[in-house]
């Protein structure tokens, strides 16, 4: 081995006065950063392995540990930034495509942070959600164009299948395989408790989780892993995954090493084989082809379940959505380019796709303009980070939001962005039994429920401030939004006025 050009990104700062040599850091670090020298009677650190996941920091009983940024730096260069230099070094030594995990860390504009929410003053009363009723329930699915009633006034229109959510948030697709059994258990249990839905991703549905079916979206992706009749029937809705915000235009690749035991059984592929999801669905080359799959799935489930088509937010997303809305799909899910992933080529994650805020605004307007907004519900994801992001998304026209990164954070994820290593110290993005057991679903589901309850309260507070008492009344209500520091073009696409207007 020649010279390693890459200096460690982090340093382990161990306070020797506090360290009691309990070695919790050592036993909890799957990257083997920490070790104990019997000879010297001290704890040692190998920073080259540290990913700054902070497991050791969190568990150190005397708070003796800090992981800090290594101050050792390249000569400053505004063009050749340190990450770019390191990536060159890495590729020069491996010759491979760079892999990354979770959403892009690059400083692209976050439009949520440039949009402000309105509140009532004087001329229209605000609502106190603690005193007055406030509805956060939403229904997802096709709206009938008109309804008819019989002479007695009873509804005779047969309503298309709907999903009912207690609040406009769902846990988005993360496959069993990319995340652990216990992470899935936490999501499934929390979704059930909350009255919302979680999503299997393309890894199939573990037999233990069929009982959470009424709160499950089952996904059908290009690899068709784990798809069978019982699977389709188990869920409350079926999602066709056409694309993912973090890696539009490419497929997925779960290495054979992770296809073990239950993961292999659930995906219905032999142990040790790579699970390759092709970039396209090989049977879909047009909206007409998509329509065939949508109706195949509806046919298979007796037209009882709504079908979601999930696409990445890319250029021309409005036209794409318009096509999907005509394909028979009940719900369109759009995933913005800042969305997370268990593994994606770095270049794609950081350079392909568009922000969800712009995609949402243009899709909503396009569907309205074409008079087909009622054909579908819109669900948006790709970095919905907090309750105000949800409120802004609804006001921009979304029916509900998908969250995943925030859910993983609730489970302990520290965004170290090394999911692809399979050595998640928090028991989330791993299949190693000793690591998986670190996530107790009792705790995990409880934390997810706490998070969603907190968001729900905040959503009600924000709505109350605007004098709005239901999500339905907020939907597409762009008058409630104002931009700050945005160009005329950006405001035009978002369909909102600038603050002060």
Chain length of the chain: 501
**Residue 19 makes contact with other proteins by CB under 8 A:** yes
Single residue of 4, 6, 13, 23 touching other proteins by CB under 8 A: 23
Distance, C-alpha 406 to centroid of its chain: 7
* Residue 61 near residue 22, CB atoms below 8 Å: yes
Smallest distance from other proteins to CB 15, Å: 9
DSSP letter string, 370-434: TT-GGG-EEEEES---SHHHHHHHHHTT-SEEEESHHHHHHHT----S-GGGS--TTSSS---HH
Q: Is the C-alpha dihedral spanning 442, 422, 84, 352 positive or negative? A: negative
**Residue 33 makes contact with other proteins by CB under 8 A:** no
Could you give the CA distance from residue 497 to residue 43 in angstroms, rounded to a whole number?
Answer: 58
**Residue 341 makes contact with other proteins by CB under 8 A:** no
Total residues in contact with other proteins, by rule CB under 8 A: 21
Smallest distance from other proteins to CB 59, Å: 6
Task: Please give the structure tokens belonging to residue 345.
Answer: 């080529």
Could you give the CA distance from residue 322 to residue 325 in angstroms, rounded to a whole number?
Answer: 5
Segment near other proteins (CB under 8 A), from 55-63, 313-321, 381-389, 392-400?
55-63
Query: Interaction with other proteins in 408-447: which residues (CB under 8 A)?
Result: 433-434, 437-438, 440, 442-443
Smallest distance from other proteins to CB 439, Å: 8
Query: Interaction with other proteins in 63-102: which residues (CB under 8 A)?
Result: 64
**Residue 27 makes contact with other proteins by CB under 8 A:** yes
Could you give the CA distance from residue 83 to residue 77 in angstroms, rounded to a whole number?
Answer: 11
**Residue 228 makes contact with other proteins by CB under 8 A:** no
Single residue of 5, 18, 125, 157 touching other proteins by CB under 8 A: 18
Cα–Cα distances (Å) from 473 to 138, 197, 411, in that order, read 11, 22, 32
**Residue 124 makes contact with other proteins by CB under 8 A:** no
Segment near other proteins (CB under 8 A), from 61-69, 103-111, 242-250, 359-367?
61-69
In 180-233, DSSP assigns E strands to: 198-199, 216-220
Indicate the residue among 27 and 159 with the shorter CB distance to other proteins.
27
Indicate the residue among 59 and 372 with the shorter CB distance to other proteins.
59
Task: Please give the structure tokens belonging to residue 406.
Answer: 């925030």
Smallest distance from other proteins to CB 452, Å: 20
Task: Please give the structure tokens belonging to residue 215.
Answer: 């709160």
Indicate the residue among 26 and 87 with the shorter CB distance to other proteins.
26
**Residue 37 makes contact with other proteins by CB under 8 A:** no
377: left (phi over 0), alpha (psi -120 to 50) or beta: beta
Segment near other proteins (CB under 8 A), from 11-19, 75-83, 272-280, 467-475?
11-19
Q: Which residues contact other proteins by CB under 8 A?
A: 17-20, 22-24, 27-28, 58-59, 61-62, 64, 433-434, 437-438, 440, 442-443
């Amino acid at each position: 081995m020649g010279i390693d050009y890459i200096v460690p990104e982090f340093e382990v700062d161990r306070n020797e006065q506090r360290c009691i040599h309990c070695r919790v850091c050592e036993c909890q670090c799957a990257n083997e950063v920490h070790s104990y020298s019997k000879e010297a009677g001290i704890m040692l650190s190998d920073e080259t392995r540290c990913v700054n996941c902070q497991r050791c920091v969190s568990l150190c009983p005397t708070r003796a540990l800090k992981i800090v940024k290594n101050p050792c730096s390249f000569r400053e260069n505004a063009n050749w930034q340190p990450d770019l230099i390191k990536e060159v070094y890495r590729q020069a030594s491996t010759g491979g495509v760079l892999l990354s995990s979770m959403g892009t860390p690059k400083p692209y504009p976050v439009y949520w942070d440039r949009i402000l929410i309105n509140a009532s003053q004087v001329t229209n009363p605000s609502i106190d959600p603690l005193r007055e009723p406030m509805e956060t329930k939403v229904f997802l699915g096709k709206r009938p164009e008109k309804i008819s009633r019989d002479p007695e006034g009873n509804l005779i229109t047969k309503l298309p299948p709907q999903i009912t959510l207690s609040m406009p948030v769902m846990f988005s697709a993360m496959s069993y395989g990319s995340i652990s059994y216990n992470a899935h258990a936490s999501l499934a249990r929390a979704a059930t408790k909350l009255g919302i839905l979680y999503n299997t991703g393309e890894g199939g549905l573990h037999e233990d989780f069929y009982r959470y079916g009424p709160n499950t979206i089952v996904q059908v992706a290009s690899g068709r892993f784990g798809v069978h009749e019982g699977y389709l029937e188990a869920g409350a809705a079926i999602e066709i995954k056409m694309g993912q915000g973090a890696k539009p235009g490419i497929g997925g690749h779960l290495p054979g090493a992770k296809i073990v035991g239950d993961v292999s059984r659930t995906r219905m592929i032999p142990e040790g084989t790579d699970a390759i999801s092709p970039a396209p669905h090989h049977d879909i080359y047009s909206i007409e082809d998509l329509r065939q799959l949508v109706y195949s799935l509806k046919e298979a489930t007796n037209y009882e379940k709504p079908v979601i088509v999930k696409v990445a937010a890319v250029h021309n997303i409005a036209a794409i959505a318009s096509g999907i809305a005509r394909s028979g799909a009940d719900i369109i899910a759009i995933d913005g380019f800042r969305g997370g992933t268990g593994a994606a080529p770095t270049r794609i994650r950081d350079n392909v796709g568009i922000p969800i805020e712009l995609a949402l605004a243009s899709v909503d307007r396009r569907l309205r303009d074409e008079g087909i907004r009622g054909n579908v519900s819109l669900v948006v994801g790709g970095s919905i980070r907090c309750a105000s992001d949800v409120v802004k998304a609804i006001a921009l026209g979304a029916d509900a939001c998908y969250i995943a990164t925030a859910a993983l954070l609730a489970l302990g994820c520290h965004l170290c962005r090394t999911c692809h290593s399979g050595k998640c110290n928090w028991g989330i993005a791993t299949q190693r039994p000793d690591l998986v057991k670190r996530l107790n679903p009792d705790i995990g589901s409880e934390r997810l429920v706490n998070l969603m309850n907190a968001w729900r309260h905040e959503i009600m507070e924000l709505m109350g401030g605007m004098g709005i008492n239901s999500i339905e009344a907020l939907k597409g209500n762009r008058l409630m939004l104002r931009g700050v520091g945005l160009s005329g073009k950006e405001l035009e696409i978002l369909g909102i006025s600038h603050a002060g207007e």
